[in-house]
Structure 1
Amino acid sequence: MHVPDGFLDAPTSVATGVVAAAAVGVALKGARRELDDRTAPMAGLVATFIFAGQMINFPVGAGTSGHLLGGALAAILVGPFTACLCLSAVLIVQALLMADGGVTALGTNITLMAVVAVVASWAVFHGLRRVLPSRPGLVAPLAGVAAFLSVPAAAAVFTLLFGIGGVAPVDTGDVLTAMLGWHTVIGVGEAVITALVVGAVMTTRPDLVHGARDLAAATELEIRKVPA
């Protein structure tokens, strides 16, 4: 999903840079409501895990490989605003120090992975939680569904950007077909990783899962009501 330098024209890259900067600014304010002394270290751990996870590529066929985006994982564990900051920090380090994604395409990559993937996954997860029973056992599967859908969502937005400012002589329809096809497969890996990690944290420390804080609070309240 990392977009290299020169894949989109200058106006499109500048526009996505503006979007990315605005999103990070909003996230900086919103993260203040999500983080406290207990959950702040979790954000660092999430960013570190995503950084390491994105370094590991898994084959999906025909010489194509995929890697963890981490938008859903971060949003559900630490909240959507903090997730945007975590992903942005990871992408900045990758672009500046590891040449993973272009520097001029940094705004595009932040827009796709730290904004679109995060917003899409959080909307799906939060929406499903509102209509389905509030059970701790559903958190991990719903996280997997949100993660799965977030990957083709980011791929679709990339195709839109390519249609606007792509410099390669490739038909946009062909790009859409290829991007959605391969990223749907990549989304399966994203879903598995996200569900496993969220499920592990839910088993040990459900109070640290931002997307399930209401369940942890309800459980704690029930425990306090039980007579000694």
Structure 2
Amino acid sequence: MHIPDGFLDPAVIVLTYALLMIYGVFAFKRIRRTLNTENTPLVSVLSAGIFAAQMLNWPIPGGTSLHFVGGTLAGVMLGPWLGFLTMFIVLVVQCLVFHDGGITALGANSLNMAIIDVLVGYTIYRFTARAFKSKGSPRMLAAFLGGWLGITIAGVACGLEIGYS
């Protein structure tokens, strides 16, 4: 789902970067209130873990591959704001160091995986977990539903961005 350079129309690039900037400013204001010496190591370790997990690719028919994304995991473990920061760090490193997704598409990739996947996954998890109000299997179901719906909706957004372009 990492969109490379040259796939997106300039209007989509500008729109997705604008949405990233607006959300990022709002998120960083919230992060400043919640980031402390206790959760900073968790953000770092989770970023590294998600980054490493994303390096494992499984080939699928059609000449492409799939990999773990981790947006819901970040959202559930850290909340939507620090989850965004975690995924954004991962995407920036992948883009700049490993050329996994283009710099012109960083806004779209961040919108899909750091905003949509994290927010949808976190919201579905919280809603489902509260509905069952217990630990164990219902929480696992909530995490599964959050992860599945989060990445599915992010994938639809990716398809719409490429389709419009």
Length-normalised TM-score, structure 2? 0.92
**SS of the counterpart of 1:58?**
strand
Residues 137-163 of structure 1, C-alpha deviation per residue, up to 9 Å, x if partnerless? 532332122111111111111122233
Give me the CA root mean square deviation.
1.6
Structure 2: 5+ residue stretches without partners: none
Q: Is the 8 A contact 1:34 1:79 kept in 2?
A: no
1:123-202 to 2 correspondences below 5 Å: 123-164=123-164, 166=165
Task: Report the CA distance between 1:133 and its aligned residue.
Answer: 2.2
Paired-residue identity, %:
35
**SS of the counterpart of 1:161?**
helix
- Which AA in structure 2 matches 1:50? I
Q: Distance in 2 between matches of 1:25 and 1:88?
A: 13
Q: Is the 8 A contact 2:126 2:142 kept in 1?
A: no
Structure 1: 5+ residue stretches without partners: 167-228
- Which AA in structure 2 matches 1:38? E
Aligned in 2, Cα 1:154/1:44: closer, same or farther, shift over 3 Å?
same
Task: Report the CA distance between 1:113 and its aligned residue.
Answer: 0.4
Task: Report the CA distance between 1:38 and its aligned residue.
Answer: 1.9
The aligned residue for residue 6 of structure 1 is 6
Q: Distance in 1 between matches of 2:141 and 2:32?
A: 28
Q: Tell whether 2:120 aligns with 1:120.
A: yes
The structure whose RCO (Cα within 8 Å, separation 6+) is larger is: 2
Q: Which moved more, 1:8-17 or 1:56-65?
A: 56-65
Q: Is the 8 A contact 1:31 1:81 kept in 2?
A: yes
Q: Is the 8 A contact 1:8 1:162 kept in 2?
A: yes
Q: Is the 8 A contact 1:72 1:146 kept in 2?
A: yes
- Which AA in structure 1 matches 2:97? L
Task: Report the CA distance between 1:62 and its aligned residue.
Answer: 4.2
Q: Distance in 2 between matches of 1:151 and 1:137?
A: 21
Q: Tell whether 2:89 aligns with 1:84.
A: no
**SS of the counterpart of 1:69?**
coil
Task: Report the CA distance between 1:33 and its aligned residue.
Answer: 4.0
**SS of the counterpart of 2:60?**
strand
Length-normalised TM-score, structure 1? 0.68
Q: Is the 8 A contact 2:95 2:101 kept in 1?
A: yes
Q: Tell whether 2:35 aligns with 1:35.
A: yes
